[in-house]
């Protein structure tokens, strides 16, 4: 086993928008920081984000008249279906302009430049406030800028290292990471650990997420004893490119911005899907649109609907939405001439490891930021394009919290990784059953079936990165299912066919922790970040 000689002040797990923002800020604050990724720095989910960053930039000449942070807060709360923590929403959204300025100092370039930045609109937004880069390649531009800053500043980057455990000392405080690569295991001593691992899209058979989104951070947090919440709210993007019946793995995204700029959802017979469903029509919050599509697919006996974007014409489609155009072209569709076949796919984990608005979790020395964290910003359904903003703001804040909490005197020893066997379910069966029973439209019988699949495990020693992913997926599935079974109502992304309406008694978050046997169970916290 390798035990790195050095003890770092902060080990950041994940190199997407939140992780790199945190690592760069930590280095700026003088902390010894290392960013760890199981693949390569650029190979996360951030690179696939299309639509943009939702932000109200004050003083910007091109700000839409009448838009304000208050209006952005109101849209976020409406989308979140009663479960956002309003104080968290306010502080995170208000910090957006500074975060975007900071990102620009790392070299990110937005469409329209500094003075006339272009804005688009996505589901749930009542204003054009989503800024973008490369047309529909916002995530790729952010990742490029942050990764290039990290490399030029010689930030310590540990690639190809999967994290199998957050190590703690005998007081329960974080002391480092257990690492794993194809050659064996190792230990990295760290005074603090920031989870910035992204989400769990690979829990489902079809997802817009990269292959690396295997719920790693959620599992690491749960096993370290952290409180998690809102796990039942897995957001499905309404429009992933439909690649054919039963298509598995990462499905190309067809950004909501395309609808923000006039594209229309039609069913297979050509009838509009969103007419009469919601006052915002096709730009209703994402949970509403995804549910309406799901109902229409069931009613028409198909597995997709159509998105008509032909009004753009070929030149404008290639200019404004090059990523979508290229994805369509790769499967022989010309979106300038024919409607794009689309279907909902798993997209975003709204809940996660509970943090305060500085990124602190309930475990001393453990921080979380980005999709893996539950700050209270998203509630029961994330407002489109709020997540890149959250990653920027919370990555920076988490680094600052680590610096503020830092005590030089403490130097962790070399903690030993636990040698316990971990329960692992069959990945394929897990994905199929999560898609069948824990997607849009759940009921108690289906959730019980999925729980049985997640519980049909063998106990294995974790020897390879793939084993670590399988164990993380197994635990993440059990945690999502425990929360989904407990919430006997429909709210936001959690749509139950046996409890079709929201219930006032459930206007609160459900926390999940591990019990003494390592099983995820709903807990009864008095208060999570302001939401009882």
Chain residues that interact with ligand SIN, rule: CB under 6 A: 49-51, 122, 253, 255-257, 348, 384-385, 387
- List CB contacts of 491: < 8 A, sequence separation 6 or more: 81, 82, 83, 380, 502, 506, 507
Secondary structure percentages of the chain, helix, strand, coil, to 5:
35, 20, 45
- List CB contacts of 386: < 8 A, sequence separation 6 or more: 54, 76, 93, 377, 378
CB neighbour class for 137 (10 Å; exposed up to 12, middle 13-18, buried from 19):
buried
CB neighbour class for 527 (10 Å; exposed up to 12, middle 13-18, buried from 19):
exposed
Q: Tell me how far, at minimum, the Cβ of 364 lies from ligand SIN, in Å.
A: 32
Q: Tell me how far, at minimum, the Cβ of 255 lies from ligand SIN, in Å.
A: 3
Q: Tell me how far, at minimum, the Cβ of 2 lies from ligand SIN, in Å.
A: 38
CB closer to ligand SIN, 242 vs 360:
242
CB closer to ligand SIN, 41 vs 49:
49
Q: Tell me how far, at minimum, the Cβ of 238 lies from ligand SIN, in Å.
A: 8
CA–CA distance, 519 with 532 (Å, rounded to integer): 23
Q: Tell me how far, at minimum, the Cβ of 95 lies from ligand SIN, in Å.
A: 18
CA–CA distance, 293 with 289 (Å, rounded to integer): 6
Residue closest to ligand SIN (Cβ): 51
3-state secondary structure of 405: helix
Return phi, psi of residue 277, to 5°.
Answer: -90, -40
- List CB contacts of 289: < 8 A, sequence separation 6 or more: 123, 238, 265, 274, 278, 282
Dihedral class, residue 214 (left if φ above 0, else alpha if ψ from -120 to 50, else beta): alpha
- List CB contacts of 94: < 8 A, sequence separation 6 or more: 69
- Identify the active-site residue in 25, 144, 250, 286: 286
Return phi, psi of residue 521, to 5°.
Answer: -135, 145
Nearest to 423 by CA among 456, 450, 457, 454: 457
Q: What is the DSSP letter of 496?
A: B
- List CB contacts of 5: < 8 A, sequence separation 6 or more: none
CB closer to ligand SIN, 110 vs 348:
348
Residue 322 token pair: 């090059």
CB closer to ligand SIN, 149 vs 235:
235
Q: Tell me how far, at minimum, the Cβ of 500 lies from ligand SIN, in Å.
A: 26
Q: Tell me how far, at minimum, the Cβ of 89 lies from ligand SIN, in Å.
A: 16
Q: Tell me how far, at minimum, the Cβ of 387 lies from ligand SIN, in Å.
A: 5
CB closer to ligand SIN, 45 vs 362:
45
CB closer to ligand SIN, 214 vs 387:
387
Active site residue 286: yes
CB closer to ligand SIN, 21 vs 387:
387
Nearest to 288 by CA among 440, 497, 483, 442: 440
Nearest to 528 by CA among 381, 351, 399: 351
Q: For tokens 């069966």, what's the residue?
A: 429
Q: Tell me how far, at minimum, the Cβ of 132 lies from ligand SIN, in Å.
A: 9
Contact at 8 Å (CB) between 203 and 431?
Answer: yes
CB closer to ligand SIN, 348 vs 506:
348
CB closer to ligand SIN, 35 vs 389:
389
CB closer to ligand SIN, 131 vs 220:
131
- Chain centroid to CA 528: 19
CA–CA distance, 141 with 51 (Å, rounded to integer): 12
Contact at 8 Å (CB) between 460 and 347?
Answer: no
Q: Tell me how far, at minimum, the Cβ of 257 lies from ligand SIN, in Å.
A: 6
Q: For tokens 């790769």, what's the residue?
A: 330
Dihedral class, residue 530 (left if φ above 0, else alpha if ψ from -120 to 50, else beta): left
Catalytic residues: 286
């Amino acid at each position: 086993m390798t035990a790195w000689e050095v003890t770092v002040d902060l080990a950041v797990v994940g190199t997407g928008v939140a992780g790199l923002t945190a690592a760069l800020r930590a280095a700026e604050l003088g902390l010894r920081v290392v960013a760890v990724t199981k693949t390569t720095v650029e190979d996360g989910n951030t690179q696939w984000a299309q639509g943009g960053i939702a932000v109200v930039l004050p003083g910007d000449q091109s700000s839409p008249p009448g838009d304000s942070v208050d209006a952005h807060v109101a849209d976020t709360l409406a989308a979140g279906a009663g479960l956002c923590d309003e104080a968290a929403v306010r502080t995170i959204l208000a910090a957006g302009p500074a975060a975007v300025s900071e990102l620009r100092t790392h070299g990110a370039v937005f469409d329209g430049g500094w003075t006339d930045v272009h804005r688009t609109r996505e589901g749930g937004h009542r204003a054009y406030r989503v800024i973008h880069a490369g047309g529909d390649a916002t995530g790729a531009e952010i990742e490029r800028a942050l990764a290039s800053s990290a490399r030029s500043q010689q930030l310590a980057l540990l690639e190809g290292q999967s994290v199998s455990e957050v190590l703690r000392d005998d007081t329960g405080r974080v002391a480092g990471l257990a690492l794993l690569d194809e050659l064996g295991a190792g230990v990295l001593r760290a005074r603090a650990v920031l989870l910035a691992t992204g989400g769990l899209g690979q829990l489902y058979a079809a997802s817009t997420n990269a292959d690396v989104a295997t719920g790693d951070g959620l599992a690491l947090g749960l096993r370290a004893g952290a409180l998690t919440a809102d796990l039942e709210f897995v957001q499905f993007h309404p429009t992933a490119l439909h690649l054919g019946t039963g298509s598995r793995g990462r499905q190309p995204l067809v950004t909501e911005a395309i609808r923000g700029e006039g594209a229309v959802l039609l069913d297979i017979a050509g009838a509009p899907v969103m007419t009469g469903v919601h006052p915002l029509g096709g730009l209703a919050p994402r949970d509403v649109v995804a549910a309406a599509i799901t109902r229409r697919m069931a009613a028409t006996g198909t597995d997709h609907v159509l998105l008509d974007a032909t009004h753009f014409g070929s030149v404008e489609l290639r200019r404004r939405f090059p990523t979508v155009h290229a994805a369509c072209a790769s499967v022989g569709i010309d979106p300038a001439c024919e409607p794009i076949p689309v279907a909902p796919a798993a997209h975003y984990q709204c809940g996660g490891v509970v943090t305060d608005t500085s990124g602190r979790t309930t475990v001393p020395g453990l921080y979380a930021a980005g999709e893996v964290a539950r700050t209270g910003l998203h509630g029961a359904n994330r407002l489109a394009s709020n997540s890149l903003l959250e990653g920027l703001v919370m990555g920076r804040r988490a680094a600052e919290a680590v610096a503020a909490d830092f005590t030089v005197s403490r130097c962790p020893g070399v903690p030993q990784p636990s040698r316990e066997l971990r329960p692992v379910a069959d990945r394929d069966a897990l994905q199929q059953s999560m898609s069948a029973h824990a997607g849009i439209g759940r009921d108690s019988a289906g959730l019980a079936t999925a729980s049985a699949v997640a519980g049909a495990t063998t106990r294995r020693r974790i020897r390879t990165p793939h084993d670590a992913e399988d164990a993380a997926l197994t635990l993440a599935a059990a945690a999502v299912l425990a929360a989904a079974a407990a919430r006997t109502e429909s709210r936001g992304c959690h749509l139950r066919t046996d409890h079709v309406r929201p219930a006032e008694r459930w206007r609160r978050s459900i926390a999940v922790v591990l019990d003494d046997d390592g099983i995820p169970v709903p807990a009864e916290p008095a208060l999570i970040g302001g939401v009882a």
